[in-house]
Amino acid sequence: MNDRGSRLSKDAVLDAAADLVRAQGPAALTMRRLAGELGCAVTAIYWHVGNREALLDELVARTVREMGRIRAEGATPAARAESVALELRRKLRARPHLIALVHERGLTERMMLPAQRALAHEAHAAGLRGAAAAEAVRAVQFHVVGFVLVERNRERAPAQHPGEPDLWDDATAEQDPGLAQAFADPPDVDRLFRATTRAVVASLWGAVPGEGGA
C-alpha cells in the first residue's frame, strides 16, 4: 500500500515514469523522484521493474510499439514512399524525448521496421529488386532519421548560433547579399525536408509527379 491507499503495480510505475520523461526528459527520471510521484519508498520500485535500466528498456519498448503503424498514400510508388517519409518525420517529432531514448539504446533500426517494410513495398512496386531495393529503402530511412535528429538539435539550442549573419559578411556575401539574408533567417525545415526527401526518393524511385522538383 502506498500513501494513497492504492497498491503499486508495474503499469503504474511505467505510466508515472513515462509522464516524467515526456514532460522533462530522461534526466528528470530519478528513482527518488519517481517514488515521490508514486507515494512509495524508493525501493518499492525495484520490486516491480528491477532497476532504472530495465525501467527505461520498458519505456523504449512501449515507444517502439507506438511507432508501429505507418500507411502510405499517393498514386505512384515514389509518391507513396515520400508520404511514408513525411509521416515518419511527423511521428518522430511527436515524441522527442522517448525517441532520443530509443536512439540512445540503439533500437532506432528496430523501431523503423514497419516503415522499412512499407518502403520496401513501394520500392518493389517501382520495379526495384534485391540490393537496389534495399539501398533505396535505407537511403530514405537514414535520411528521415538523420534529418529529425539534426532539426531536434537545432530546436533544443536556439540561442547557440552566434550571429550567423556576422560570419557571412565576406566576399561571397558581398557578391550576394540575398544569401547572407537567407542565412540570417532560420531555415524553413518543413520545406527543406520536403525538398531533400523528394531528391532522395526521385533519384532512387524515379520522378515524383505533382511538383516540379529539379
Q: Which residue has the cell 540570417?
A: 184
Pairwise CA distance, residues 88 & 72, whole Å: 10
State the CB neighbour count (10 A cutoff) for residue 97.
20
Q: Which three cell numbers stand for residue 154?
A: 537545432
Pairwise CA distance, residues 78 & 88, whole Å: 15
Residues 103 and 56: beta-carbon distance below 8 Å: no
Give the shortest CB-49-to-its own copies separation in angstroms: 20
Report the sign of the C-alpha dihedral through residues 158, 161, 162, 165, in that order. Answer: negative
**Position among 11, 19, 41, 154 found at the interface with DNA (CB under 7 A):** 41
Beta carbon nearer to DNA, 51 or 153: 51
Give the shortest CB-19-to-DNA separation in angstroms: 15
Beta carbon nearer to its own copies, 73 or 176: 176
47 interacts with DNA by CB under 7 A? yes
What residues line the site for its own copies (CB under 8 A)?
103, 105-110, 113, 116-117, 120-121, 124, 129-131, 133-135, 137-139, 142-143, 145-151, 153-154, 156-157, 160-162, 164, 167-168, 170, 172, 175-176, 178-179, 181-183, 187, 191-192, 195-196, 198-200, 202-204, 206, 213-214
What Rg value do the Cα atoms of the chain yield, rounded?
22
Q: Which three cell numbers stand for residue 48?
A: 516491480
Provide CB contacts within 8 A for 104, sequence distance 6+. Answer: none
Beta carbon nearer to DNA, 61 or 202: 61
152 interacts with DNA by CB under 7 A? no
| Span from 2-10, 134-142, 161-169, 180-188 in contact with DNA (CB under 7 A) | 2-10
Pairwise CA distance, residues 119 & 82, whole Å: 9
Pairwise CA distance, residues 17 & 59, whole Å: 8
Residue 181: contacted member of its own copies, DNA, none (CB under 5 to 8 Å, by partner type): its own copies
Residue 47: contacted member of DNA, its own copies, none (CB under 5 to 8 Å, by partner type): DNA
**Position among 4, 5, 23, 53 found at the interface with DNA (CB under 7 A):** 53
Beta carbon nearer to DNA, 4 or 129: 4
